[in-house]
C-alpha cells in the first residue's frame, strides 16, 4: 500500500480552512449514536476526549493512572508557544511555522506544521477561558518568555508548571463532560490491544489494573494519545509508567511506525547518581540563559574532581574550558538542545567529565558569573558600592533566586549541593520522542478509524523538537484538529449502530491478551522485569543514544534480539493476575520496548545522515569551519521512514513518505 499523506491541495495558508469547509459533518442527533474510545488523558487525549464529548459523541477514555489529571503532561515546566504576537516583535503564523520546520531540521511535514501554527493562538484563548492562570504582567495582560532557537517572545507560561496548568484545564473540561455523562472515564486501565473488524478499528481490549479483569470495549473509532516512548532507554525524564504499548499494539495490527530513531536528548538534566536510579530529572532549558557550561582544561583536574580531591571552585579561571562558547561563538551556551547534548558527551568521552557519580559523566553549569553580573547591576541601580564583593554576591543571588529559585531548590534536594555556591552538575538525558505512529493529515494511522495524537504520533517536530512546542501540538491535535477530521470519517458510520463485542474478532483479541498475561504469571523465570529493562536501557544509551554508527547499531540490533529471547525465557513475574500487580503491567510494557528497541536501531541504521537529534558519526562535515558538525543529506533522506510490521522487528518493511518543501528553503543549520 502506498502511503498517502492526504494533504489538501492549494496554497499552504488556505489548506486547513478549505479542508474544514469541505469535509462531511455528522449531525448532532447522529453523534449520539457514535462511540469513540480515547486512550490517554494527557494534553492530547484529555483535550480530545473533552471536545468530542462536547460535540455530542459518546466517549470512553482510558488512563493507567488513578486520575486523568496525573498524565505525564503534568510534568512539563517551561511553556507553550503560540503565534499571538502580543509582544509586537514581529511574530506571525508563518514565523512559528518556519521556526518549527527549521528547528525540526527539515524532517517534518509542512502542511501539518502550518496548521499547528495556525491554531496555536486559539489554544491560548481557550485555556484562558477555562481558567488557566497563565503568568501576567502588571497591566493584567499575558506575559511571554523566549525559548531556545527562536528570535521572538512567544512562549506562554504558568510559573514553572505550565504543563500542570494546561492539563488541569483539559481535565476540568473532561470533568464537565463526565458530569454530563458524555465521557465514561476508565482510570487504572491499560489498553492491551486494538480490535479490528472488517479492516477498521472498532474497539480495544483493556485490563483493569486493580481487579485484573480483561474487558472488551467497542467504538466506531479509536484514538491513541498515549504519550512518548523515551522509557525504552530505561532512564529518561518520562514518568515511570510511560510506555509505547498502545502505539506498539496498533503497529502490530497494521499502523506504520514512523522515524522511531528520532529522540530528543535534553542537555540539562541532573546526572545519574548510581545503579539504583529510577528516573532522571530535567532542569529547565531556561537555565542556559544565565549559566555558563564548562569542564576543566586539564585531564588531571577532571580526575581530581571525580575523586573528590578538588572542587569546582578550586579550578582557576584560565584552567576552565567553556567548550560551547569556544566551539560556537555565535550561540554559545544557547545552541539548540541536540548540539549542546553532543558537545557534553564529547567532553565526557574524552575524559573531562566531572561527575561524582559512578559514571563520571557530568559537566558544570555555573551561575557565579550571572550572580556577579546581576549583583553589579543591582548595586548600580540602587547606588550602592560596586566594589563590595559580599554585597554584590548577595544582591546577585537574590536576582537569580527570583528567576530560578524553585529549580535551584529542586536541585539541592536531589543532589545535596547548593548551586548558589558551587556550579550545578548536569548531563544530557532522554526527554522526548519525535518519532511515533505514522499519521496522515487527518491524524489517522494506516488502520482506518484508528487515530494517533500528541507525542505518540510522529507528525510535527521532524528530527528535533523546539522547546514549548509539544504542549502546543498536544492541545492543537485534541482541541482543534482531531474533532474536525474524525467527523469526516465518522459521517459514514451514522447508520452502523453499536458495535457488538460478542464477535470472533473480540474473542480472538481477548484470547491473545489472556494468553500473554497467563504466560507471564506462569513463566517462573529467575530475573525481574527491571533487570531486563535496565539492560535494554544500557544498550540503547551506549549504541543508539546521542551518537550512532553502523557498527554499534548492528550490534545493538543483535543484542536486543538476544535480550528479548532471554526475557521471554527467564522473566519472573510474581503474584497473580487477578489483583493489583505492577510487575505484570511492567512485564507487558517491557516486552514491547524490547521489540521497539530493535526497530529503533534499525531505523537509525537505515538513516545514514545526521539530522536533528539523530547524529550519525559517518555523516559529519569533513572540513571547513563546520568540521565535525552534523551533516544532513537532503538528497537521499528528506523523507519520513514509516515502518510496516512483518513479525520480527528486523523484518519490518520501509515505506518512504517523501517530504516536499514548497514554502521553505532547505538550509544546513549553523550555530558557529
Partner 1 sequence: MKLTLKIWRQNGANDKGGLVDYKLDGVSPDMSFLEMLDMLNEQIINEGGEPVAFDHDCREGICGMCSLYINGEAHGPDRGVTTCQLHMRMFKDGDTIFIEPFRASAFPVIKDLIVDRTSFDRIQHAGGFISVNTSGNTQDANSLPISKHAADEAMDAATCIGCGACVATCKNSSAMLFVGAKVSQYALLPQGQVEATDRVKNMVAQMDLEGFGNCTNTGACEVECPKGISLDNIARMNRELMKASV
Ligand X SMILES: Cc1cc2nc3c(=O)[nH]c(=O)nc-3n(C[C@H](O)[C@H](O)[C@H](O)COP(=O)(O)OP(=O)(O)OC[C@H]3O[C@@H](n4cnc5c(N)ncnc54)[C@H](O)[C@@H]3O)c2cc1C
Per CB under 8 A, contacts with partner 1 among 555-574 are: 572, 574
Examine residue 45 and tell whether it contacts ligand X (CB under 6 A).
yes
Which region among 68-76, 300-308, 329-337, 357-365 touches ligand X (by CB under 6 A)? 68-76
Distance CA 307, CA 304 (A): 5
Residues β-bridged to residue 208: 189
Examine residue 159 and tell whether it contacts partner 1 (CB under 8 A).
yes
At residue 437, φ and ψ (nearest 5 deg) are -65, 135
Can you give the length of the chain in residues?
672
Residue 21 binding partner per list partner 1, ligand X, none, with a CB distance cut-off of 5 to 8 Å that depends on partner kind:
none
Which region among 128-136, 380-388, 449-457, 621-629 touches partner 1 (by CB under 8 A)? 128-136
Restricted to residues 465-504, the positions that interact with ligand X (CB under 6 A) are 468-471, 474
Among 325, 530, 606, 633, binds partner 1 (CB under 8 A): 530
Residue 333 binding partner per list ligand X, partner 1, none, with a CB distance cut-off of 5 to 8 Å that depends on partner kind:
none
Q: Which three cell numbers stand for residue 12?
A: 499552504
At residue 112, φ and ψ (nearest 5 deg) are -65, -45
Residue 432 binding partner per list ligand X, partner 1, none, with a CB distance cut-off of 5 to 8 Å that depends on partner kind:
ligand X
Examine residue 418 and tell whether it contacts partner 1 (CB under 8 A).
no
The residue (of 58 and 446) whose beta carbon lies closer to partner 1 is 58
Examine residue 75 and tell whether it contacts partner 1 (CB under 8 A).
yes
Examine residue 25 and tell whether it contacts partner 1 (CB under 8 A).
no
Residue 583 binding partner per list ligand X, partner 1, none, with a CB distance cut-off of 5 to 8 Å that depends on partner kind:
partner 1
Distance CA 489, CA 445 (A): 12
Residue 189 C-beta: closest distance to ligand X, Å? 6
Which region among 60-68, 215-223, 444-452, 523-531 touches ligand X (by CB under 6 A)? 60-68
Residue 602 C-beta: closest distance to partner 1, Å? 30
Distance CA 479, CA 202 (A): 23
Distance CA 427, CA 311 (A): 18
Q: Which of 554, 668, 586, 655 is nearest to 620 (CA)?
A: 668
Among 49, 61, 111, 173, binds partner 1 (CB under 8 A): 173
Residue 428 binding partner per list partner 1, ligand X, none, with a CB distance cut-off of 5 to 8 Å that depends on partner kind:
none
Residues contacting 383, CB < 8 A, separation 6+ = none
Could you give the residue ranges of the DSSP H alpha helices within 383-481? 389-415, 470-475
Using an 8 Å Cβ cutoff, are 433 and 467 in contact?
A: no
Among 30, 87, 130, 289, binds partner 1 (CB under 8 A): 130
User: What burial class does residue 237 get, using C-beta atoms within 10 Å of its C-beta: 0-12 exposed, 13-18 middle, 19+ buried?
Assistant: buried
Examine residue 245 and tell whether it contacts ligand X (CB under 6 A).
yes
Residue 360 binding partner per list partner 1, ligand X, none, with a CB distance cut-off of 5 to 8 Å that depends on partner kind:
none
Distance CA 279, CA 273 (A): 10
Restricted to residues 275-314, the positions that interact with partner 1 (CB under 8 A) are 276-279, 281-282
Examine residue 435 and tell whether it contacts ligand X (CB under 6 A).
no
Distance CA 50, CA 61 (A): 10
Among 455, 460, 510, 559, binds ligand X (CB under 6 A): 455
Q: Which three cell numbers stand for residue 320?
A: 576552565
Residue 286 binding partner per list ligand X, partner 1, none, with a CB distance cut-off of 5 to 8 Å that depends on partner kind:
none
Examine residue 79 and tell whether it contacts ligand X (CB under 6 A).
yes
Examine residue 193 and tell whether it contacts ligand X (CB under 6 A).
no
Q: Which of 107, 109, 337, 347 is labelled catalytic?
A: 337
**183-187 — which CB contacts under 8 Å span 24+ positions?**
183/49, 183/50, 183/53, 183/59, 183/60, 183/61, 184/58, 184/59, 184/60, 184/61, 185/41, 185/61, 185/63, 185/68, 186/60, 186/61, 186/62, 186/63, 186/217, 187/63, 187/65, 187/66, 187/67, 187/68
Clarify whether 327 is annotated catalytic: no
DSSP reduced 3-state for 9:
coil
At residue 23, φ and ψ (nearest 5 deg) are -75, 160
Examine residue 47 and tell whether it contacts partner 1 (CB under 8 A).
yes
CA dihedral over 40, 46, 47, 50, signed as positive or negative: positive
Examine residue 597 and tell whether it contacts partner 1 (CB under 8 A).
no
Restricted to residues 199-218, the positions that interact with partner 1 (CB under 8 A) are 210
Which region among 132-140, 295-303, 306-314, 540-548 touches partner 1 (by CB under 8 A)? 132-140
Q: What x/- string results for residues 237 through 256 when contact with partner 1 is judged by CB under 8 A? A: --xxx---------------
Distance CA 221, CA 76 (A): 29
Q: Which of 436, 429, 489 is nearest to 40 (CA)?
A: 436
Examine residue 351 and tell whether it contacts partner 1 (CB under 8 A).
no
Q: Which three cell numbers stand for residue 35?
A: 462511540
Examine residue 136 and tell whether it contacts partner 1 (CB under 8 A).
yes
Distance CA 283, CA 145 (A): 17
Give the count of residues interacting with ligand X (CB under 6 A).
44
DSSP reduced 3-state for 208:
strand
Give the count of residues interacting with partner 1 (CB under 8 A).
78
DSSP reduced 3-state for 653:
strand
Residue 371 binding partner per list partner 1, ligand X, none, with a CB distance cut-off of 5 to 8 Å that depends on partner kind:
none
Q: Distance of CA 579 to CAs 62, 511, 528, Å?
A: 19, 19, 19
Distance CA 603, CA 458 (A): 14
Residues contacting 372, CB < 8 A, separation 6+ = 392, 393, 396
Among 176, 376, 403, 514, binds partner 1 (CB under 8 A): 176
Examine residue 42 and tell whether it contacts ligand X (CB under 6 A).
yes
Which region among 86-94, 305-313, 463-471, 621-629 touches ligand X (by CB under 6 A)? 463-471
Residue 184 C-beta: closest distance to partner 1, Å? 12
Residue 582 binding partner per list partner 1, ligand X, none, with a CB distance cut-off of 5 to 8 Å that depends on partner kind:
partner 1
Residue 508 binding partner per list partner 1, ligand X, none, with a CB distance cut-off of 5 to 8 Å that depends on partner kind:
none
Examine residue 18 and tell whether it contacts partner 1 (CB under 8 A).
no
Q: Which three cell numbers stand for residue 624?
A: 571547513
Which region among 243-251, 271-279, 422-430, 588-596 touches partner 1 (by CB under 8 A)? 271-279
Among 575, 618, 667, 668, binds partner 1 (CB under 8 A): 575
Using an 8 Å Cβ cutoff, are 245 and 40 in contact?
A: no
Residue 244 C-beta: closest distance to ligand X, Å? 8
Among 19, 57, 97, 134, binds partner 1 (CB under 8 A): 134
Residue 176 binding partner per list partner 1, ligand X, none, with a CB distance cut-off of 5 to 8 Å that depends on partner kind:
partner 1
Active site residues: 337
Residues that bind ligand X (CB under 6 A): 39-45, 62-65, 71-73, 75-80, 162-163, 190-191, 225-228, 237-238, 242-243, 245-246, 282, 432, 454-456, 468-471, 474
Amino acid at each position: 500500500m502506498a502511503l498517502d499523506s492526504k494533504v489538501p491541495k492549494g496554497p499552504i495558508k488556505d489548506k486547513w480552512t478549505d479542508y474544514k469547509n469541505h469535509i462531511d459533518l455528522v449531525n448532532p442527533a447522529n453523534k449520539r449514536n457514535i462511540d469513540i474510545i480515547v486512550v490517554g488523558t494527557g494534553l492530547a487525549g484529555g483535550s480530545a476526549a473533552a471536545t468530542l464529548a462536547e460535540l455530542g459523541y459518546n466517549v470512553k477514555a482510558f488512563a493507567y493512572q488513578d486520575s486523568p489529571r496525573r498524565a505525564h503532561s503534568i510534568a512539563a515546566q517551561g511553556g507553550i508557544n503560540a503565534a499571538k504576537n502580543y509582544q509586537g516583535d514581529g511574530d506571525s503564523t508563518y514565523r512559528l511555522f518556519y521556526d518549527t520546520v527549521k528547528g525540526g531540521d527539515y524532517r517534518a511535514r509542512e502542511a501539518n506544521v502550518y496548521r499547528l501554527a495556525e491554531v496555536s493562538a486559539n489554544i491560548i484563548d481557550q485555556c484562558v477561558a477555562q481558567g488557566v492562570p497563565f503568568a501576567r504582567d502588571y497591566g493584567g495582560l499575558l506575559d511571554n518568555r523566549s525559548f531556545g532557537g527562536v528570535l521572538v517572545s512567544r512562549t506562554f507560561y504558568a510559573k514553572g508548571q505550565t504543563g500542570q496548568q494546561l492539563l488541569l484545564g483539559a481535565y476540568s473540561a473532561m470533568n464537565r463532560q463526565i458530569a454530563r455523562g458524555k465521557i465514561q472515564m476508565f482510570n487504572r486501565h491499560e489498553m492491551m490491544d486494538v480490535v479490528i473488524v472488517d479492516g477498521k478499528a472498532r474497539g480495544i481490549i483493556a485490563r483493569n489494573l486493580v481487579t485484573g479483569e480483561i474487558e472488551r470495549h467497542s467504538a466506531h473509532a479509536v484514538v491513541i494519545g498515549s504519550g512518548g516512548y523515551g522509557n525504552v532507554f530505561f532512564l529518561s525524564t518520562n514518568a515511570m509508567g510511560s510506555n509505547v504499548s498502545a502505539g506498539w499494539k496498533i503497529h502490530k495490527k497494521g499502523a506504520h511506525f514512523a522515524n522511531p530513531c528520532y529522540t530528543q536528548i535534553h542537555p540539562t538534566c541532573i546526572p545519574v547518581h548510581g545503579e539504583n536510579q529510577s528516573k532522571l530529572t530535567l532542569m529547565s532549558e531556561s537555565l542556559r540563559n544565565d549559566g555558563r557550561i564548562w569542564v576543566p582544561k586539564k585531564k588531571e583536574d577532571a580526575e581530581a574532581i571525580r575523586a573528590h580531591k578538588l572542587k569546582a571552585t578550586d579550578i582557576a579561571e584560565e584552567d576552565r574550558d567553556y567548550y560551547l562558547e569556544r566551539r560556537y561563538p555565535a550561540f554559545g551556551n544557547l545552541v539548540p538542545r541536540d548540539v549542546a547534548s553532543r558537545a557534553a558527551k564529547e567532553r565526557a568521552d574524552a575524559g573531562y567529565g566531572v561527575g561524582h557519580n559512578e559514571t563520571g559523566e557530568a559537566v558544570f553549569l555555573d551561575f557565579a558569573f550571572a550572580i556577579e553580573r546581576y549583583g553589579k547591576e543591582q548595586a548600580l541601580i540602587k547606588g550602592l558600592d560596586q566594589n563590595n564583593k559580599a554585597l554584590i554576591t548577595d544582591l546577585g543571588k537574590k536576582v537569580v533566586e527570583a528567576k530560578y529559585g524553585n529549580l535551584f531548590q529542586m536541585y539541592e534536594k536531589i543532589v545535596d549541593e547548593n548551586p548558589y555556591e558551587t556550579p550545578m552538575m548536569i548531563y544530557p538525558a532522554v526527554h522526548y520522542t519525535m518519532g511515533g505512529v505514522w499519521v496522515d493529515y487527518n491524524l489517522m494511522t494506516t488502520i482506518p478509524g484508528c487515530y494517533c495524537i500528541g507525542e505518540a504520533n510522529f507528525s510535527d517536530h521532524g528530527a528535533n523538537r523546539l522547546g514549548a512546542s509539544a504542549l502546543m501540538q498536544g492541545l492543537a491535535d485534541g482541541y482543534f484538529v482531531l474533532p474536525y477530521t474524525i467527523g469526516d470519517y465518522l459521517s459514514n458510520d451514522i447508520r452502523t449502530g453499536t458495535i457488538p463485542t460478542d464477535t470472533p474478532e473480540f474473542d480472538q483479541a481477548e484470547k491473545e491478551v489472556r494468553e500473554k498475561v497467563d504466560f507471564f504469571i506462569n513463566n517462573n523465570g529467575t530475573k525481574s522485569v527491571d533487570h531486563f529493562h535496565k539492560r535494554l536501557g544500557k544498550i540503547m544509551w551506549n549504541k543508539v543514544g546521542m551518537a550512532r554508527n553502523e557498527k554499534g547499531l548492528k550490534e545493538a540490533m543483535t543484542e536486543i534480539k538476544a535480550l528479548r529471547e532471554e526475557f521471554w525465557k527467564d522473566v519472573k513475574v510474581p503474584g497473580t493476575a487477578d489483583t493489583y500487580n505492577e510487575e505484570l503491567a511492567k512485564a507487558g510494557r517491557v516486552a514491547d520496548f524490547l521489540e521497539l528497541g530493535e526497530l529503533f536501531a534499525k531505523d537509525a541504521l537505515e538513516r545514514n545522515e545526521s539530522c536533528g537529534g539523530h547524529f550519525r558519526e559517518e555523516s559529519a562535515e569533513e572540513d571547513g569551519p563546520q568540521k565535525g558538525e552534523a551533516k544532513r543529506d537532503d538528497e537521499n533522506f528528506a523523507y519520513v521512514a514509516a515502518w510496516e510490521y512483518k513479525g520480527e522487528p528486523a523484518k519490518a518493511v520501509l515505506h518512504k513518505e517523501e517530504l516536499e518543501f514548497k514554502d521553505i528553503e532547505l538550509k544546513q543549520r549553523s550555530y558557529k
